[in-house]
Amino acid sequence: MQGVLAPVLTPFDRDLNPDPSRFARFCRTLLDEGCDALALFGTTSEANSLSLEERERLLDAVLEAGVPPHKLIIGTGCSALPDTVRLTRKAARARCGGTLMLPPFYYKNVSEEGVYRSFAQAIDRAGEPRIRVYLYHIPQVSQVGIALGVIGRLLKAYPGVVAGIKDSSGDFENTRAMLRAFPGFEVFVGTEKLLLANLREGGAGCISATANVNAPAIARAFRSRTEETQREIDVVRARFEKLPLIAALKEAVASRTGDETWRLLRPPLVELSAEQRQTLRAG
């Protein structure tokens, strides 16, 4: 797995139910626009506002729409271990390209041993030989990091299973440390702002929210690996980072498609205000 992956936005209907058919169509659009693969049910997908059954229905719709399963990484990290196991098992049996697994994110100040056991238990209980796990490091949100020591233990205990990581910390020194400590480990950065730096260090690519609205340009930057294309995608990213990111992305998709229901988010997230929409349009 390498390249540009979009963590796919989740469309809702007016009753705030996820819309499987629109979700599947959007997945196909993102692949057509240049994404190498897709990450479903991460932060940008509002996954932790979705029930287990809702995630399963959305995944089924994407597969039934003909999206190749090997182009999907499925977010399976849940607060409850049995839920993580159930989603991980489903993704593996569907022959998806991998799962993206959060550390335990409710209890804080947990030990490295606790983080390690959380991942190990999920892998062991899933019991699927086809499973490929990508760790999800986003400490500014989860408040639980994934230390190098934990990664090393997991790679030793589960060779060929623990395949890589999404480092959404924004700290490239942390990313570089992973790359240098674990050759061959597939490291994705969580923002295209760090794409070129990651590639130059041997990283796999990026899993970036902005790929929902700027996939062609980010894909060009991945292929060309030049300072010029990096600067171009940095400008777009900066425009969205001025605002609540998920709401701004949904606003952009709504404007592009003419479908105002794309603006809908599940609480506690809310849509952009009129003033914020103006800021987005002004760039």
User: What pairs with residue 266 in β-bridges?
Assistant: none
User: Token match 């899933």: residue?
Assistant: 126
Q: What six digits make up the tokens of 82? A: 């049995």
pLDDT for position 282: 87
- Is 166 catalytic? The answer is yes
Q: Which residues are CB-contacts of 30 (< 8 A; sequence separation ≥ 6)?
A: 6, 8, 38, 211, 212, 215
Per-residue pLDDT tens over the stretch 189-204: 999 999 999 999 999 9
Residues 22-31: what's their mean pLDDT?
98
Q: What six digits make up the tokens of 83? A: 């839920």
- Is 43 catalytic? The answer is yes
In the structure, what pLDDT confidence band is assigned to residue 75 with cuts at 50, 70 and 90? very high
- Is 90 catalytic? The answer is no
Of these residues, 71, 90, 166, 250, which one is catalytic? 166
pLDDT of 283 strictly over 80? no
Residue 244 CA to its chain's centroid (Å): 17
- Go through the domains of the chain in sequence order and give each one's CATH number: 3-224 (3.20.20.70)
Give me the half-sphere count of Cα atoms (radius 13 Å) on the Cβ side of residue 66: 5
pLDDT for position 241: 95
- Is 107 catalytic? The answer is no
- How far is residue 87's CA from residue 126's CA, in Å, rounded to a whole number? 9
- How far is residue 175's CA from residue 196's CA, in Å, rounded to a whole number? 13
pLDDT for position 174: 97
CB 122 within 8 A of CB 84: yes
Per-residue pLDDT tens over the stretch 243-253: 999 999 999 99
pLDDT for position 243: 97
Helix (H, G, I), strand (E, B), or coil: what is residue 55? helix
pLDDT of 254 strictly over 90? yes
Of these residues, 106, 107, 226, 242, which one is catalytic? 106
CB 263 within 8 A of CB 251: yes
pLDDT for position 130: 87
Percent above pLDDT 70 for the chain: 100
Of these residues, 10, 76, 136, 210, which one is catalytic? 136
Of these residues, 43, 44, 99, 191, which one is catalytic? 43
pLDDT of 157 strictly over 90? yes
In the structure, what pLDDT confidence band is assigned to residue 129 with cuts at 50, 70 and 90? confident
pLDDT of 9 strictly over 90? yes
pLDDT for position 220: 98
